Structure 1
Amino acid sequence: MESSKSYSASSPCLFFLLIFSLVVVVAAAGKSRVSIPDDLSDVVDDEEDEEWKKWGQMRTRSGDILPPPDFSRMNPDQIQAEMMKRHTAPSFGFVKLRPGSSRSREDVPVIAMKWSNVIRTGSLEARFMAVDRHTIMFTMEKGQELKELKEFVLSQPEAYEMKIGEQLFRRPGDPPLDVVIEKLNKERSVNDMNHVDDEL
């Protein structure tokens, strides 16, 4: 019995000694380092790929490298379209809503918010804000996406006309906004006159 007691008393000491020696060996192994010589002229580094070599360099688009077209053979609309392709600065503009539709002041911010949310799903960074009952303003960070924005806006049933700078964009075949407003005003005045005649 005494031998089993002495064995059990020395067992934790042996276990502790074993763990301590293991820690010392691991610590000593961690301190050993690989020495790298200062002269690396004979080392060939062929592990770099093309992506690694281009890392940190400014990327250029192929469209930026091409020379600009000959503007002397273009009409003003073609020149402006070509300039819009290369436009990269932030842009803003206005969208005139379809005249003749009855909408309240509360409807226009709802339309603007809906357009902002929908266009974000198409990966375009544009924000729409209500200006008045007939106008929505938009801002874009990336001007090169104006073509996609124009297509989006003119596909919306509430939009009639889009203005960016001095350029006006409408659906093909739509008359100018002034003509439509004049026509609506004439129809209203005729309806008002008919209404007055009916009352008499």
Structure 2
Amino acid sequence: MCSRYLIIFGFVLIYTLNVTFAAYGDHKHRDPIDYTDDDVNRLFEQWEENDEDGSSKDDEDDPRKHQPKRPLTGKDPEKLFAQMKKGQATMLTALVAGNPTKRETEQIALIWWMGLRNALYDVHKFVGDDNKIVFGIDDGSRIYEIKEFLINQPECYEVIIDQQTFPGRGSKPTKSKLKEL
């Protein structure tokens, strides 16, 4: 009599374990790194089926969804140029005011380069002639921000970007120079 209960208990135990592990499925215990493309697609479909209103919450919170798309226009050539050069390496040339020596130009270039680096601009400097500094910029979309920094320096005569010249503070005669004339 005891053996009958033991056999029935064994079958019930095996049946319970089988049903329990079959309900969880094999995908519950797998590492996500081992998923195939089909597994990921099935999970995505299940996720979409279980979505209540058919749209994800992220779409509603996305601020870019409500912004109108702006085409590139020629109204502001600086912004247009910056958008065209986004992610591309570009260069600009800065001329130092006065008649500096090459050593003075290198010192000024170092000061400007450190100021740009401290402002988190990724630039490279090359000193050319006695009064010419060439700046290489990894992201061309920021070139006009760098130009604004440079033309506001008192030692800057002018900045040249893509054959356009922008006068710096050093190109304007000061009051002491005007009195000398």
Which deviations, in whole Å up to 9, do the C-alpha atoms of 1:122-142 show, x marking residues without a partner?
111112221121111110001
Alpha-carbon separation, structure 2, partners of 1:147 and 1:108: 22
Q: Is the 8 A contact 1:127 1:140 kept in 2?
A: yes
Aligned with 1:104 (options 101, 104, 116)? 101
Which deviations, in whole Å up to 9, do the C-alpha atoms of 1:129-180 show, x marking residues without a partner?
21121111110001110121011100111111111111111148x57xxxx9
Query: For residues 153-192 of structure 1, what are the structure 2 equivalents within 5 Å?
Result: 153-171=150-168, 174=171
Alpha-carbon separation, structure 2, partners of 1:63 and 1:127: 35
Q: Is the 8 A contact 1:115 1:128 kept in 2?
A: no
Percent of aligned positions with the same letter in both sequences? 20
Q: CA deviation at 1:120?
A: 0.9
Aligned with 2:58 (options 50, 56, 59)? 50
The total of aligned residue pairs comes to: 126
The RMSD of aligned alpha carbons is 3.9
What is aligned with 1:91? 90
Report the secondary structure of 2:126's partner residue: strand
Q: CA deviation at 1:85?
A: 3.4
Q: Is the 8 A contact 2:125 2:133 kept in 1?
A: yes
TM-score between both structures, scaled by the size of structure 1: 0.50
Alpha-carbon separation, structure 2, partners of 1:105 and 1:45: 68
Q: Which runs of 5+ in 1 are unaligned?
A: 1-33, 55-59, 181-186, 188-200
Alpha-carbon separation, structure 2, partners of 1:63 and 1:95: 37
What is aligned with 1:37? 25
Please state if 1:66 is matched with 2:70. Answer: yes
Q: CA deviation at 1:44?
A: 4.7
Alpha-carbon separation, structure 2, partners of 1:105 and 1:135: 9
What is aligned with 1:143? 140
Alpha-carbon separation, structure 1, partners of 2:110 and 2:122: 13
Q: Is the 8 A contact 1:113 1:129 kept in 2?
A: no
Q: Which runs of 5+ in 2 are unaligned?
A: 1-19, 28-42, 174-179
Q: Is the 8 A contact 2:102 2:131 kept in 1?
A: no
What is aligned with 1:121? 118
TM-score between both structures, scaled by the size of structure 2: 0.55
Structure number with greater Rg is: 1
Relative distance call for 1:49 and 1:64 in structure 2 (3 A) is closer
Report the secondary structure of 1:106's partner residue: helix
**1:130 is matched by which residue type in structure 2?**
V
Report the secondary structure of 1:132's partner residue: coil
